[in-house]
């Protein structure tokens, strides 16, 4: 797909990676509908970008009705979408279990609420968005692309039962959707970033972050633009589908 032909819905667009994706897509001539639950940060982004091809929609993508409203907004603002970037994500890290200091007994660590929140936003929401996107693409005669932002955590990171499961599930669905949707002229790809310097890391304790960086062969955090390069490749390469591009400084080697 040629970037000037792209009409993209980007979820989690007010965050670190999302805002970089929006900026770079616009610079390359694309139209963008930026979606985020954080309306104040979306408005800030809009003011900064100052483009008639940039549209915003405040929505909680874990809710089915909100997802429908996003696609209706895309119809109105840019005559529909042909690219979906499933980027929104949250962390709620916790060990599965812990030992109570006074009794020495085992107890629950991660709560069901922490599990549910991460599965809902990082896995169920991409499913809802992909389903809505694909159903609207069918019969349009256009090519479409879905890009899922997974994570190197899909291989299993400590304290991330919820996040690792969601990101592994998203990588698996990248394969499922690529197989199911190819006949409808929709390609599906994923990116698994390693540790990238954005606000999502604010909740990660510094010692854990340092431990992670120490495991990266390239010895540093990734940059947002390095993940954008992966998105650009997936959009532009018409023979790419069903695969995960790992942009992780080698952390999973
Ligand atoms: N930064 C990293 O190190 C890293 C590594 C691997 C994968 N990722 C993934 O990349 C994606 C983007 O991460 P980021 O680092 O830019 O994070 P970020 O925290 O900067 O941005 C995430 C955005 O998602 C939005 N969001 C959260 N819940 C939402 C909801 N219910 N509806 C709509 N929007 C919602 C937030 O408001 C935020 O703006 C996430 O899926 C994350 O899991 C990030």
Cβ of 38 below 6 Å from ligand 1: yes
Tell whether 139 is covered by a domain.
yes
User: Residue 62 Cα, ligand 1 centroid: separation in angstroms?
Assistant: 13
Cα of 14 from ligand 1 centre, angstroms: 9
Domain holding 62: CATH number?
Answer: 3.40.50.720
What pLDDT does 201 receive? 84
Q: Report which ligand 1 atom has the smallest distance to the Cα of 121.
A: 31
The ligand 1 atom at the shortest distance from the C-alpha of residue 13 is 39
Q: Are strands 144-149 and 106-108 parallel, antiparallel or unpaired?
A: unpaired
Q: In 10 A of CB 10, how many CB atoms?
A: 30
214 inside domain? yes
Per-position pLDDT tens, the chain of length 253: 999 999 999 999 999 999 999 999 999 999 999 999 999 999 999 999 999 999 999 999 999 999 999 999 999 999 999 999 999 999 999 999 999 999 999 999 999 999 999 999 999 999 999 999 999 999 899 999 999 999 999 999 999 999 999 999 999 999 999 999 999 999 999 999 999 988 888 888 889 889 989 999 999 999 999 999 999 999 999 999 999 999 999 999 9
Domain for residue 253, yes or no?
Answer: no
Report, as residue numbers or ranges, the catalytic residues.
163
Is residue 109 domain-resident? yes
Residue 252 located in a structural domain: no
Q: How many folded domains does the chain comprise?
A: 1
Is residue 87 lining ligand 1, measured as CB closer than 6 Å? yes
Domain that includes residue 160, residue range: 3-247
The verdict on the CB of residue 86 being under 6 Å from ligand 1 is: no
CA of 196 to the centre of ligand 1 (A): 11
């Amino acid at each position: 797909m040629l970037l000037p032909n792209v009409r993209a819905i980007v979820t989690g667009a007010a965050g670190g990676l999302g805002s970089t994706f929006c900026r770079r897509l616009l610079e390359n001539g694309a139209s963008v509908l930026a979606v985020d639950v954080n309306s104040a940060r979306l408005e800030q982004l809009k003011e900064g970008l100052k483009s008639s091809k940039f549209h915003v929609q405040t929505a909680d993508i874990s809710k089915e009705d909100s997802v429908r409203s996003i696609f209706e907004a895309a119809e109105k603002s840019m005559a529909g979408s042909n690219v979906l970037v499933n980027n929104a994500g949250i962390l709620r890290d916790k060990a599965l279990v812990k030992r109570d200091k006074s009794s020495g007994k085992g107890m629950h660590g991660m709560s069901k609420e922490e599990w549910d929140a991460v599965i809902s936003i990082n896995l169920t929401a991409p499913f809802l968005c992909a389903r809505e996107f694909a159903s609207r693409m069918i019969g349009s005669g256009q090519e479409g692309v879905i890009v899922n932002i997974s994570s190197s955590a899909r291989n299993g990171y400590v304290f991330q039962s919820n996040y690792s499961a969601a990101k592994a599930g998203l990588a698996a669905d990248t394969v499922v959707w690529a197989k199911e949707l190819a006949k409808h002229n929709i390609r599906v790809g994923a990116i698994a970033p390693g540790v990238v310097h954005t606000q999502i890391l604010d909740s990660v304790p510094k010692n854990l972050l340092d431990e992670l960086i120490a495991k990266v062969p390239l010895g540093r955090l990734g940059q947002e633009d390095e993940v954008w390069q992966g998105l650009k490749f997936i959009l532009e390469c018409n023979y790419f589908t069903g695969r995960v591009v790992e942009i992780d400084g080698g952390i999973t080697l």
